[in-house]
Amino acid sequence: MELHRREFAALVLGAAAGVSVVGPAGAETDPLPSWNDGLAKGAILKFVRVTTDSASPDFVPPERRIVTFDQDGTLWVEHPMYTQVVYCLDRVPAVVKEKPALAKAEPFKTVLTGDFEKIAKLSLHDLEVILAATLTGMDVDAFNAEAKAWIDSAKDRRWKRPYTELTYQPMQEVLTYFRAKGYKTYIVTGGGQDFVRVYSDRVYGIPREQVIGTAGGVSYGHGKDGKPILTKEPKLLLNDNYAGKPEGIHLMIGRRPRAAFGNSTGDQQMLEYTKGGDGPRLSMLVLHDDAKREYAYGPAQGLPDTKVGTFTQTLYDQAIKNAWIVVSMKTDWKRIFAFEA
Amino acid sequence: MELHRREFAALVLGAAAGVSVVGPAGAETDPLPSWNDGLAKGAILKFVRVTTDSASPDFVPPERRIVTFDQDGTLWVEHPMYTQVVYCLDRVPAVVKEKPALAKAEPFKTVLTGDFEKIAKLSLHDLEVILAATLTGMDVDAFNAEAKAWIDSAKDRRWKRPYTELTYQPMQEVLTYFRAKGYKTYIVTGGGQDFVRVYSDRVYGIPREQVIGTAGGVSYGHGKDGKPILTKEPKLLLNDNYAGKPEGIHLMIGRRPRAAFGNSTGDQQMLEYTKGGDGPRLSMLVLHDDAKREYAYGPAQGLPDTKVGTFTQTLYDQAIKNAWIVVSMKTDWKRIFAFEA
């Protein structure tokens, strides 16, 4: 019976999109109720309608309906630090407990001080050392269990809520809407593929196999009990950022996406590649311009680029020139999080 | 309406599996009509039943229902030469036309003679040179178009039929049956991922993104018209054979399969890894022992191992010891191909 219900829901949503391209706010049939009417919302509704209405000249057969989403800064909060980096820093004490000599070695020594200001100033190389020490060397089942326990309990400092609640409600609606219309939704993240897979189904309704991320190698072998296991190795297979995003999409999907959502220069090539295909294509950039409800950074505020989420002026100019849609969190989103009133 | 029909079909098949674990041959409701009753057919029906019946203690939730299939020798004929190798050899004249100097250089010179006996004796290194020259250097859209044109027209020497008709009908029924019961079917092949993706949907009902194979890197760039393209590079990303199979499964799916089908030592680690998980797991090996209807090679006939499809005595012993199921093409399969009477 589950399939019947889902199918019915899809039909209802489909009909709604067909009649109300920019539907009245709050209407029961509006698939994007957390979006204000405007260019961005209209572009999403129109794109989905013309590519999924079988009478449309731009109809896309179901097997070609691929839509990709960056995660950090696009589907959930990335400030002041990527969630995965917080995980790795939190893991340091356990790693040091296993290898006590590390306690006196940098960058572990700095991390153990717990001084947030000092930790925030660690170099990229320091971070790489910490990532390798905390994300590799264990078998994949052990990693999954550790990461799951952490994500189930850790909380963000500002909102005092689990990180998994810091996803953007408007983007959750976009995910649901695309799926209801037969699109296969993928995460394409610069974050660790194995890490994001731990919670992607629960948080985004995206199964493990539809998460493409920065991926290290694993090596096949046998555990102490003789059972076959895979061990996470400190060997980079796919750096899923910049050109690595379309390259990773080819490796894991083998099709050019019809639509893509990002928020930074790390997404530039994915958005270019998507928009460069034939027929209607949708490339969207989320602009963080809401200092009150979330954070403001990037060129629209005249703020300097920050270490994360580098939405540069050059990227903004490219977006305008190539008819990518820029989503203003401040004006396009009625609310940011599901937990808001 | 398509979904309704499929759902109905799934219910019918499900009911059939529930009541006729080893159903009478030819019964309308038998999901595996090209299989003779026996250990292998019974094992498949029982495995699917206990993992998909919600009242079963071994019930597996739908999102965890992953089944993987080797291609060459498991889903279609691999003798006397892998289809993809034939493709590469056929591509040599076009490559030489673009780079005439190659005509006098080995191994291209030998290939251009068209002497099948000599070509069959080329070394593995020679083959690698030919594969690199014929499978890389072009953009992925051009490769897709070339490979599609070839697979649509090329024919096998023995049966005088398109290679795409040389798939095993009993295995097609297994694919359909697993899918009808909510399993996601994957190809995990030592062959080229991009090559198999060209026809996987049409031949096996498996979409491009569910093909895991030996994969080369691609590089992102812009074509002469300024449009973004991906170019196939002679750089190995994933050697999807032996330990590379479970490693590739982790990269592309991130879950241990519940069931796996193979036919050679290249599949050994995938079958081990699959069988090594908790709960009911199914690992199956197809034994080529039917010289009349297809080919006979491997240890069961006391034949020496051949260059392709190395089903060794060691592998056979491991299968028996670990309760993998060996499928005899001669005795388990009522017919081999759909085109048989």
Widest Cα–Cα separation across chain A: 68
A interface test, pick of B212, B220, B270 with most A CB neighbours within 10 Å: B220
Tokens of A189: 């993240």
Q: What digits encode the pLDDT tens for the residues B87-114?
A: 999 999 999 999 999 999 999 999 999 9
SS3 B335: coil
B interface test, pick of A66, A206, A209 with most B CB neighbours within 10 Å: A209
Q: What digits encode the pLDDT tens for the residues A201-236?
A: 999 999 999 999 999 999 999 999 999 999 999 999
With a pLDDT cut of 70, the percent of chain B lying above it is 88
Residue A85 contacts by C-beta under 8 Å, 6 or more apart in sequence? A127, A131
- Minimal Cα distance from B63: which residue of A? A207
Q: Do A243 and B207 touch (CB under 8 A)?
A: no
Q: What digits encode the pLDDT tens for the residues B183-195?
A: 999 999 999 999 9
SS3 B85: helix
Q: Do B227 and A276 touch (CB under 8 A)?
A: yes
Q: Do B251 and A243 touch (CB under 8 A)?
A: no
Of A211, A217, A247, the CB nearest to B218: A247
Mind spelling out the 3-state secondary structure of chain A?
CHHHHHHHHHHHHHHHHHHCCCCCCCCCCCCCCCECCCHHHHHHHHHHHHHHCCCCCCCCCHHHCEEEECCECCCECCCCCCHHHHHHHHHHHHHHHHCHHHHHCCCHHHHHHCCHHHHHCCCHHHHHHHHHHHHCCCEHHHHHHHHHHHHHHCECCCCCCEHHHCECHHHHHHHHHHHHCCCEEEEEEEEEHHHHHCCHHHHHCCCHHHEEEEEEEEEEEECCCCCEEEEEEEEEEECCCCCHHHHHHHHHCCCCCCEEEECCHHHHHHHHHHHCCCCCCEEEEEECECCCCCCECCHHHCCCCCCCCCCCHHHHHHHHHCCCEEEEHHHHECCCCCCCC
Q: CA of A241, closest CA in chain B: separation in Å?
A: 12
Whether B2 shows a pLDDT value over 90: the answer reads: no
Q: Are strands A66-69 and B66-69 parallel, antiparallel or unpaired?
A: unpaired
The sheet with strand A66-69 has its strands ordered as A228-238, A211-222, A184-192, A66-69, A259-262, A282-287, A325-328
Q: CA of A220, closest CA in chain B: separation in Å?
A: 6
- Give contacts of A269 with chain B, Cβ < 8 Å: 220, 228
With a pLDDT cut of 90, the percent of chain B lying above it is 81
Amino acid A327 reads V
Q: What is the rounded CA–CA span in Å between residue B50 and residue A200?
A: 28
Task: Quickly state the pLDDT bin for A124 (edges 50, 70, 90).
Answer: confident
A interface test, pick of B136, B209, B269 with most A CB neighbours within 10 Å: B209
For residues B135 and B307, the model is more confident at B135
Q: CA of B2, closest CA in chain A: separation in Å?
A: 11
The predicted model scores a pTM of: 0.90
Q: CA of B197, closest CA in chain A: separation in Å?
A: 8
CB B208 within 8 A of CB A255: yes
Task: Quickly state the pLDDT bin for B316 (edges 50, 70, 90).
Answer: confident
Q: CA of A276, closest CA in chain B: separation in Å?
A: 6
Q: What digits encode the pLDDT tens for the residues B139-148?
A: 999 999 999 9
Task: Quickly state the pLDDT bin for B273 (edges 50, 70, 90).
Answer: very high
- Give contacts of B253 with chain A, Cβ < 8 Å: 208-209
Q: What is the rounded CA–CA span in Å between residue A70 and residue A72?
A: 6
Task: Quickly state the pLDDT bin for A302 (edges 50, 70, 90).
Answer: low
Q: What is the rounded CA–CA span in Å between residue B305 and residue B308?
A: 8
Task: Quickly state the pLDDT bin for A14 (edges 50, 70, 90).
Answer: very low
Q: Do A211 and B254 touch (CB under 8 A)?
A: yes
Whether A157 shows a pLDDT value over 70: the answer reads: yes
Q: What is the pLDDT of residue A3?
A: 35
Amino acid B190 reads G
Interface size, chain A vs chain B, as Cβ–Cβ contacts under 8 Å: 89
Q: Do B209 and A253 touch (CB under 8 A)?
A: yes
Residue B100: is it exposed, middle or buried by C-beta count within 10 angstroms (0-12/13-18/19+)?
exposed
Q: What is the pLDDT of residue A30?
A: 96
Q: Which residues pair with A188 in a beta bridge?
A: A212
Q: What is the rounded CA–CA span in Å between residue A324 and residue A301?
A: 19
Q: What is the pLDDT of residue B116?
A: 86
Whether A9 shows a pLDDT value over 80: the answer reads: no
Q: Do A215 and B254 touch (CB under 8 A)?
A: no
Look at residues A225, A276, A263, A268 and name the one whose alpha carbon lies nearest to residue A244: A268
Report the phi/psi class of residue A217: left, alpha or beta, with left for phi > 0 and alpha for psi in -120 to 50. Answer: beta
Q: What is the rounded CA–CA span in Å between residue B201 and residue B209?
A: 10
Which of A160-164, A223-227, A309-313, B14-18 ranks highest by mean pLDDT?
A160-164
Q: What digits encode the pLDDT tens for the residues A91-108?
A: 999 999 999 999 999 999
**What average pLDDT score do residues B198-224 get?**
97
Q: What digits encode the pLDDT tens for the residues B228-246?
A: 999 999 999 999 999 999 9
CB A176 within 8 A of CB A157: no
Q: What is the pLDDT of residue B299?
A: 65
For residues A317 and A178, the model is more confident at A178
Q: Do A246 and B237 touch (CB under 8 A)?
A: no
Q: What is the pLDDT of residue B309?
A: 52
Q: What is the pLDDT of residue A308?
A: 47
Whether A23 shows a pLDDT value over 80: the answer reads: no
**What average pLDDT score do residues B142-160 get?**
97
Q: Which residues pair with B155 in a beta bridge?
A: B162
Q: Do A209 and B272 touch (CB under 8 A)?
A: no
Q: What is the pLDDT of residue A19?
A: 36
